[in-house]
Structure 1
């Protein structure tokens, strides 16, 4: 069961595609966070979603908002994926301990061994304000994110 709006966001600390540690708490008091979980790099729907975010990046990565995309891939795979697709925002690795962050947010599919498509809008105080979870084959609608961010 995914974390519901109104819940304090679990703090996570993961390595990005450059090997740097990114901690959710680092943005507290500074920025709202779009925390997006996706199954795997290099797959059709995931690539489409992440490239759509890339194309609208000023909406999701600016002085007020930070985009963090999390998958169960290794940081090394994420680096190649980011370079190949021109993704210039943090891709975080929930590879080891495998799925720990995805489980904390209730979006890890134990049978498939990966995160499902869960997105959480977290306000500057660290509270989840909006959540959407889609089945693996279903892409999310970026306009929903924009609406949720506008409501903060």
Structure 2
């Protein structure tokens, strides 16, 4: 069961595509966070979603907002994926312990071994203010993220 709005967002420490450790707490008190879980790099729907975010990046990475995208891929895979698709925002590896962050947010598919499509808008105090969870084949609507951010 995915974390509901109003709940405290679980902190995590994950490596990005450059091997640097990133935590949710890094942004507490400074930025709202759009935390996006996706199944795997180099897959059709995931690539489409992440490239759509790239194309609207100033909306999701600015003085007030930080986008963090999380999958169970290794940091090495994420680095190649980011370079190939021109993704200049943090791609975080939930590779090991496998799916730990996705499990904490209730969006890990045990049978498939990956995160489902869950997005959480987290305010500067670390509270989930909005969320959406879609099945593996169903892309999310970025306009819903914008509406949620505007409501903060």
TM range (shorter): over 0.9
- The 5 Å alignment of 1:30-45 reads 30-45=30-45
Deviation per residue, 1:106-143 (Å, 9 max, x gap) = 00000000000000000000000001000000000000
2:72 aligned with 1:66: no
2:47 aligned with 1:47: yes
Counterparts of 1:41 and 1:127, CA distance in 2: 28
Structure 1 equivalent of residue 131 of structure 2: 131
Q: Tell me how far 1:42 sits from its aligned partner.
A: 0.1
Give the secondary-structure state (helix, strand or coil) at the position aligned to 1:46: helix
Q: Tell me how far 1:30 sits from its aligned partner.
A: 0.1
Give the secondary-structure state (helix, strand or coil) at the position aligned to 2:5: coil
The runs of at least 4 aligned residues of structure 1 exceeding 6 Å deviation read: none
- Structure 2's unaligned 5+ residue stretches are none
TM-align CA RMSD = 0.2
Structure 1 equivalent of residue 26 of structure 2: 26
Counterparts of 1:54 and 1:66, CA distance in 2: 13
TM-score (norm 1): 1.00
Structure 1 equivalent of residue 144 of structure 2: 144
Counterparts of 2:149 and 2:97, CA distance in 1: 31
TM-score (norm 2): 1.00
- Structure 1's unaligned 5+ residue stretches are none
- The 5 Å alignment of 1:76-87 reads 76-87=76-87
Equivalent pairs, count: 152
